[in-house]
Amino acid sequence: MYGHQGKILHVDLSKNKIWTEDIPEEWRKLYVGSRGINAKLLWDYCKDPTITWDDPRNIIIYAPGAVTGTTAPASGRTSVTTVGCTTGMYLKSNTGGHWGAELKYAGYDHLVVHGVSDKPVYILIDDDKVEIKDASRLWGKDIIETDTLLKEWHGEDSRGLYIGPAGENLVRAASIHCSLYHAAGRGGGAAVMGKKKLKAVSVRGTKPIRVKDPKKFAEVAEEMRELLRADSGAQGLHEFGTAGSLAGVNELHAFPGRNWQTGYTENVHPITGPALNEGGYLKRRVACFGCTIGCHRYSTIEKGPNAGIASGGPEYETFGALGNGPGIIDTEGVLILNEICNRLGLDTITAGTVTQWAIESYLRGVLTKEDTDGLELDWGKLEEVKKTIEKIAFRDGKLGDLLADGLKIATEKVGHDSYKWAIINAKGLEQSNVETRSAKAYALAFAVNPRGNDHLMTETFAEFGSSPEAIEVIEKITGDKKWASPHFTEYRAEIVRWHEDVYEITEALGFCVFTSTAAYGVNPDNMARLYTAATGIEMTEDELMLTGRRVCTIEKAFNVTRGATRAHDNLPWRLMNEGAASGPLKGETNSQEELDGMLDKYYDLHEWDKETSWPTRATLEKLDLKYIADYLDELGKLP
């Protein structure tokens, strides 16, 4: 087999059983790989809506992309798929680093973990040798300690994927880390591993990956590299990381602060990408496998009382959720909080968002000092935020246990209309730091995202028209470059639908989505040509984009089995009912009328039923998904 290694590795922790199966050739055409085949596998094993995230029948799937491990640029990504613990619905998360390429070199395209162990274990993969090993010496260790021990035991050339104490404690904000500082962070996938008592997966591989047409493959890969070198956004990502855009977003009054009560912060510079460089905190730029951009950061504090703090990042989202959100406008303060999350295995977005909600709830008198275990919460208090995050990771005290379950459950427990300042939608995932009241394609994308309110399923950055390449993308989608502005509602459905498909095929192939939805050197045309050269499977641009639509429909259908309706495609109460705090769009909200108009058009483009938001039988069968239509029919979930 070319491109793919052709093998799915299964490990059943309940039965202590290990086996492999071949990837059906048809799947490579219909779903391509990684995120796509993961969606098919999760449907096959977990479509029964009685299978919850903590059910032994739930599986968790790890899959590098179809061209991961090759010379294709920035193609080192791995998708992780499971029934999510935050929402109880479909969860796909994605991570960089080098672990995915190593799994491919070991000879596997997918690792599927079944069952629950009765004691802590880790999986050791060394080419064809696969073992379930005792992890009692790893249990309780943080991310860095776990990585250090795995490398001591299995060699510096091994690659680890692991959870920290937060995952062990079934915290719904727990993140899966690999290659140390790269995380599949959103949705609590690490809690699924924690429930299975799976601490880590250590991999080492030596097998080659063959491509069908090496000459053509090399030509297309080089074309991608050249386009990325020339892209106007790629250099900024290299120089300042994702936080390079933060000051500009703040000037647009679109940088959320104080639990989304503000959109602009005076003297925001200390929590920006340039501040890391100027302050001497940035020690090196880090690239994932095969990446030519190198947007990741490694930052340290070398002087003063905080000397010794060191970690990957921070990213834009971390500066937002742990900096501007709780009012920590301090470089070293965010570096400290970021390191705690990275060591303990916490998603910085959710950890910061639940902390902001707790601060506002305390200031409103909804949480008492007894509820906060004596902490006097307020904006800008670093020590209190630090203690809160540590409490979350260990479920320590009343506050830690409350916030560890996420805002959906916390607001139900606390009551007092506290859902009104909880930045979640009906699905329940805490929102990432995009001001959807002034970015309408993002608003729609967040509302329909199958895993909840965030940008990492459908990144519509091009709507800002911030580069010539972005404007060109919007013109391609809409026919007119004038729609490259975030304030329009027109053509937002078309923009979201196009980006959904591009995002899916990018991840199915294993590319970083920055290369196709933030920089634009990787595009549907060259991805289709590269896939054909890699696998020998003829694939046009339109056919590849159709696989994106097919997989997005599977993800939607999975949520339908779990009760999702049109009502779940919404936005947080605060963003729908309270106006933007400042700037040219002061007072602007995401109105229901506005959202409904975009949703109607979006469902029409998908050919889904507008009243329920459910895929129809005709649409499913047109996408070669009759097996899904038949099952939804059994459940009474076809429109």
343-354 average pLDDT score: 98
Spatial strand order of the sheet with 129-134 comes to: 129-134, 121-126, 198-204, 159-162, 176-178, 182-184
The string of DSSP letters for 57-90 reads: T--EEEEE-TTTTSSSTT---EEEEEE-TTTSSE
Three-state secondary structure string covering 282-327: EEEEECCCCCCCCCEEEEECCCCCCCCCEEECCCHHHHHHHHHCCC
pLDDT at 295 > cutoff 80: yes
The two counts, helices (H) then strands (E), for the chain are: 26, 15
pLDDT tens across 587-597, in order? 888 899 999 99
Q: Which of 178-182, 186-190, 343-347 has the lowest mean pLDDT?
A: 178-182
Tokens of 196: 């299975």
545-562 pLDDT, tens digit per residue, is 999 999 999 999 999 999
Position 40 scores a pLDDT of 98
* 308 Rama class: left (phi>0) / alpha (psi -120 to 50) / beta: left
Q: Going from the N-terminus, what domains does the chain have, and what CATH number goes with each?
A: 7-204 (3.60.9.10), 233-421 (1.10.569.10), 440-520+540-635 (1.10.599.10)
- pLDDT per residue as tens digits for the range 244-282: 989 999 998 889 999 999 999 999 999 999 999 999 999
> Could you give the CA distance from residue 396 to residue 386 in angstroms, rounded to a whole number?
13
Is the pLDDT at 585 greater than 80? The verdict is no
Confidence of residue 582 (pLDDT cuts 50, 70, 90): confident
- Listed as own residue / partner, the contacts of 619-622 with beta carbons closer than 8 Å and 24 or more positions apart are 619/553, 620/553, 620/557
Q: Is the pTM of this model over 0.95?
A: yes
- Residue 48: count other Cβ atoms within 10 Å of its Cβ: 11
Helix pair 468-478, 492-509: axis angle to 10 deg = 110
pLDDT tens, position by position, 97-143: 999 999 999 999 999 999 999 999 999 999 999 999 999 999 999 99
- Given a cut of 80, whether residue 220 has pLDDT beyond it is yes
The full DSSP string for 186-197 is TT-HHHHHHHTT
| 8 A C-beta contact, residue 481 and residue 38 | no
Nearest alpha-carbon partner for 239 in 519, 456, 499, 520: 519
Q: Please, which residues have CB within 8 angstroms of residue 297's CB and are 6 or more apart in sequence?
A: 241, 273, 276, 282, 285, 286, 312, 313, 314, 315
pLDDT at 142: 98
Residue 252 has a pLDDT of 86
Give the residue-averaged pLDDT of 454-481. 94
Reply yes or no on whether the pLDDT at 586 is more than 90.
no
pLDDT at 583 (0 to 100): 79
User: CA–CA separation, 42 vs 36, rounded Å?
Assistant: 10
Instruction: Give the sign of the dihedral formed by CA 325, CA 328, CA 330, CA 334.
Output: negative
For residue 177, report the phi and psi dihedrals to the nearest 5 degrees. -110, 145
Encoded tokens for 142: 């943080």
In a 10 Å sphere around its CB, with 0-12 CB exposed, 13-18 middle and 19+ buried, how is residue 513 labelled? buried
Q: Does residue 233 carry a pLDDT above 90? A: no
Q: How many CB atoms lie within 10 A of CB 584?
A: 10
Residue 7 corresponds to which amino acid? Answer: K
Burial class (CB in 10 A: 0-12, 13-18, 19+), 71: middle
pLDDT given at position 632: 98
Q: What is the DSSP letter of 538?
A: -
Span 307-328, mean pLDDT?
Answer: 96
Strand 129-134 with 90-95, pairing: unpaired
**pLDDT for the residue numbered 277:** 93
Which pLDDT value is given to residue 7?
Answer: 98
Alpha-carbon distance of 53 to 526, in angstroms, equals 37
| Rounded Cα distance, 153 and 173, in Å | 29
Q: Give 498-518 as a DSSP string.
A: HHHHHHHHHHHHT--THHHHT
Mean pLDDT value across residues 221-235: 92
